[in-house]
Copies of this chain bind each other. A is one copy, B any other.
Amino acid sequence: MTDSTRTAHSTRHSTTRRNVLRGTVATAALAATTTAPAGPAHAAPPAGGGPEIGILLYDGFSLLDPTGPAEVLSRLPGATVTMIAERRGAVRTDTGDVAVVAERSLDEVDRLDVLLVPGAGNRGTVAAMNNRTLLDWIRRIHRHTRWTTSVCTGSIVLAAAGLLDGRQATTYWAAAEYLEATFDVTCLPRRHVRSGKIITAAGVSAGIDMALYLASLLAGADTAKAVQLAIEYVPQPPFDAGDASRADARLKERALRLLEESQGQGQGPRSHPGVRLG
């Protein structure tokens, strides 16, 4: 690109107030309706007037597990989504590449309308299962939630807290045997499973599907559909390889090897330095 075309571009979009999204033309008309969000009323509305949703982060979580549902649920009328961990500050993913900020520590949160527990790699899941502080907090919060939910191996953490006793649930495809062998849980190979007020989702990306279902429970189907359009969720995977029940042994082994290697087992820390925060 030449300098002259660059200048031309700069001129064309130099306005600082500009409506990129078509919907902003309707802003004035909609302003009157913003105080009366659609969907059923909430029993105990928090500050935002909608559900108070808390997502538990812990060291080694898988990035998409909390962020997919957070993208969906943060669009619900009046909803707040809060990342929570043992301590405030950055919590790092299983690969070590990315850190998400926990805005609240466990002892700052007593009540939630919705609790979501994400999954993690082997190391993170095992550590969470053996973390009494985490499990006690999950049990305490669960008493008063409207919905207690998990993604991927998050259901193993819920099980370790004793919440899945005698229930049906789902989990990550490679963890289903472990879940059934270790706890009194019947594991169903479904995208998400509802048992009472507990909803468990299958692996990683299943959190998005579960969150849209949860959105319909919280705010009605019409609102959930609007959220689906808002995130343009009309998935078109370039391959048909995501279903473990149809995958051959070679592909499964390759998938698990990628997971293990990306989690740096035997490799030492990733090449970028960890940023210590909080």
Contacts and interface: CB of A to CB of B under 8 A. Distances in A.
Given A67-B98, A228-B242, 14 more contacts: A18-B126, A20-B122, A31-B266, A67-B67, A67-B68, A74-B95, A79-B262, A82-B97, A90-B101, A204-B231, A205-B231, A226-B255, A226-B257, A230-B255
Contacts of A5: 162, 165
Interface in A24-76: 24, 26-27, 30-31, 33-34, 37-38, 46-48, 62-64, 67-68, 70-71, 74-76
Contacts of A242: 228-229, 231-235
* Copies of this protein, total: 2
Interface residues of A, number: 138
A221 interface: yes
A213 interface: yes
3 residue pairs, one from A and one from B, having the closest CB atoms: A23-B256, A203-B232, A47-B271
A7 to B, nearest CB: 10
Interface of A: 1, 5-6, 9-10, 12-14, 16-24, 26-27, 30-31, 33-34, 37-38, 46-48, 62-64, 67-68, 70-71, 74-77, 79-83, 88-90, 93, 95, 97-101, 103-104, 121-122, 125-127, 129-130, 132, 139, 152-153, 156, 159-160, 162-163, 165, 172-175, 177-178, 182-183, 191, 202-206, 208-209, 212-213, 216, 221-239, 241-244, 247, 251-262, 265-267, 270-273, 275, 277-278
